[in-house]
Structure 1
């Protein structure tokens, strides 16, 4: 027993092999393996970075080539459309419709092959005449072709009832017509030709009381679509 005012002090003992904490030591082979894994990982990442860079560059080049070779559809612009007989008291008997449209190939390196082209004039979505206007031809890149013609006689199928409708609209200030151009086209890219596409160009025009196309429609672009 210790006195009450004495605090016992525990004197440490020398650690034995049993309670001593052992430190694990790695072999040289272990550290060489770790270094080898680190180098392999770095090389793999470097190779992956190079491959991704090549793919990215190839994608950009392919996209640029696609944009340069992607054909743009031809553009059509109405330049002139007239039915002078509207201004004449008895114009029905000698009615004659004239038109002038510009077809423009805006591609830099792509030509356009046209098969036969036909034109049809419409009033109130009803055909009032038509005719073929062009034989097969090839349009060079960055080139324009003028398409013009006349519908008269048997090619202008307007009866007396339809003519009276024209005059009723003329009394209101204008007569609305639509000129449709239809052809089958192919694109020529270097030595390769595309498949055929059925093309439609629709030109909306308004004719005044004098039978001439209104100035606001001169040079108006005609919507174009394929079927």
Structure 2
């Protein structure tokens, strides 16, 4: 952790000697969690608590169209939900103990797609994408529930480059550390989509790619949930916590 210093004089037997107070500045990394479509912040809470225990400030939240605002699900668009993510990020960095130069974002599925887009409009140092989904750039303002699922799956199975997709373009200019986690038996985000993301991170400082064996898209089994939690926690320890120890800022 970084420290602030204060030069003082210590009075002793009618004389004074020099001293220096070293006081922790109390700034820590911030971690924003973005859940997937049809989910809620409940998906992230256990992992957020574990990472908070490492000395980070974590924020989970519910995208519009979910949880208390599920009545809006038929009308909410990707534009609406990206605005939600930006607002949550802006709320996170107002926390008094946050180091605003040390922000991590963890996104799952649709949340991973939104997290990638966030990096174009807000500073992000670490980006973790769990089964990140991919969507066509057109119909951006269309309510997400109106997107054609069959056409979407055809799109996700194709080879897509950063020149053809906003989210991949954002990944191509991301210069921090990235993590991509794939589910071995994913029926919603095919391997080709994951490979499109992997190929896009050409400017990243580092890229870690992991596969959760026998896992489905939603991490339905307890072993797959534990495996993903372990992957995320280990990466966070190495990247977020470890980098600050190495630089003398923890």
User: Quick check: TM above 0.5?
Assistant: no
Calculate the TM-score normalised by the size of structure 1.
0.26
Calculate the TM-score normalised by the size of structure 2.
0.24
Could you say which structure has the larger radius of gyration? 1
Considering Cα pairs closer than 8 Å and 6+ residues apart, tell me whether 1 or 2 has the greater RCO.
Answer: 1
Task: Name the structure where strand makes up a greater proportion of residues.
Answer: 1
Task: Name the structure where helix makes up a greater proportion of residues.
Answer: 2
